[in-house]
Structure 1
Amino acid sequence: MTEQPTRTPELVLREPSEQVSPRAVGYWRLSAVPSVVLALVAGGAVLTLGDAAWWAWVVAVGLLLASLAVVLVMPGLRYRVHRWEVTHEAVYTRSGWLRRDVRIVPLSRVQTISTSQTALMRAFGLASLLVTTASSAGAVRVEGLDAGLARDVVADLTRDTAATGGDAT
């Protein structure tokens, strides 16, 4: 009888369990306001083409409605969709409000871990977590975490990846 090799726990592509901070909704909403301003300017420019044709009004109204949807609808959808989770084996993420991306990064593949904050994020007490790997899929970003939690996650991930075997390639 042959002996079965010992296997490590399998990493399964699954839905992560943690939500981003509820304050991320306000941050995303305020971040999208420039798109409304740009749409108003563009719509106004289209309407000032002299004798505004019916299509100019359609374009202007379409730009305004689309930009309002980005400000009013997108943040709530994004909050419901964005998930993340860090275990001792991997980082799991789900993101996207039009196209959904679910990713898993085994800790043995992690190369760097960092946080970043824009001035607006600092005002909301938020930060982004960035986990880079050797993968062609690129880095994994979790935007909208509580800033203190993001720092704690970086510390935990640093400790766990240091204890994980492999060369992160």
Structure 2
Amino acid sequence: PGIVAADGTLDRAAVAARVFGDPDELAALNAIVHPAVGAEMARRRAAWADTDAIVVLDIPLLVRSDDEPLRDEYRDLAGIVVVDVDPEIAVERLVRFRGFDPDGARARIARQASRAARLAVADFVIDNGGDLEQLEREVERCWAWMRRRRDELAAARDAPDTGEAAAGE
């Protein structure tokens, strides 16, 4: 009750107010959402598994908490990109663009994994602390890295097996 807008869509602000203020509500929501999202992502990853396509998964909660650095279902990703921003810039943006009050924005950020925990799992970091032009340059750098990473993985996969690993065992 109270989370459906008049037009029948989900009132995201009402959901956020409800779950981010109550750990039990947040756990209940995560128990509903995460298995379904995980299953769909696994299905989509499987569909592209035997290709050289670059597949990007947008995973907001890749790192659940500082105590659980990387969720098990993501340990086999070919690379992890983390978009990083100073927490105070994140607060400012949540206030300006999403209508949060500053304390609510800080509370939401505080419930997430720390910046250090997110950066610890990153293979590549996009700095989102500047303006849009700077972000576009960062994304271009990331895309170049993704293409190099794909090519490295393809070369390793396609390399002839020399048997050296078996001989050394």
TM range (shorter): under 0.3
Per residue, is there more strand in 1 or in 2?
1
Using structure 2 for the length normalisation, give the TM-score.
0.23
Higher RCO, 1 vs 2 (CA within 8 Å, ≥6 residues apart):
1
Per residue, is there more helix in 1 or in 2?
2
Using structure 1 for the length normalisation, give the TM-score.
0.23
